[in-house]
A = this chain, B = another copy of it.
Amino acid sequence: MKAIIQRVTKASVTVGEDQVSSIGRGICVLLGISVDDTQRDAEYMVRKILNLRLFEDENGRAWAKSVMEREFEVLCVSQFTLQCILKGNKPDFHSAMPAELAQPFYNSILESMRSAYKPELIKDGNFGAYMQVNILNDGPVTVELTSPAGPTDPKQLSKLEKQQLRKEKVRSKGHSESAREKASLRSRQDPSASSGAEGDVSSDREP
């Protein structure tokens, strides 16, 4: 999963003549889901988006506060073109998750964000629609996030797979599973399960 986070003074989404969404200060998130993404990627992304320190604190110290700490808004828009692989100069989108799977997954990510923060401060585009997204990038400040299990980072992926294997070995030796492992396993098996991001969201820990 990839996200482009732009810090904004304001942002809005228009479909045809209608403005469907708008925010004031905060972040505009363009979110690209890959065909390989799981609940694990979603949890990472929700946590990072909400906790990324892109704002000043009260004393003007830069990179000190997150969108949540400043109580700013989030405009999230699905953006499959981020899962682009170039074939020469032509973008190929076969690694983007197909819309019929991506839409419910994307909606669950929005719900996780709303549960972890304040529902009324998380705004959305129109999934799959042809939109004009008006972004007033403040700075500019733009950060790219890639979820650790994403297919674009094969090195990290194989590291995660090894960790998973080690866990499975430990389990097969008869050690008891920790609650954390149980939760992680459950969320991998059932992508519709609750993300658990609410509990994790204020933590600095890297997955």
Contact = CB atoms under 8 A, between A and B. Distances in A.
- Give the number of times this chain occurs in the complex, counting copies: 2
A84 interface: yes
B143 A139 contact: no
Interface string A71-88: 000000101011010101
Contacts of A189: none
Interface residues of A, number: 44
Interface of A: 2, 4, 6, 9, 30, 32, 48, 51-54, 63, 66, 77, 79, 81-82, 84, 86, 88-91, 125, 130-144, 154-155, 204-206
Contact of A4 (B4, B9, B89): B4
Contact of A79 (B52, B135, B140): B140
Contacts of A2: 144
Contacts of A90: 53, 63
A156 to B, nearest CB: 11
Contact of A81 (B143, B204, B205): B143
B81 A4 contact: no
B134 A139 contact: no
A114 B23 CA distance: 36
A30 B135 CA distance: 13
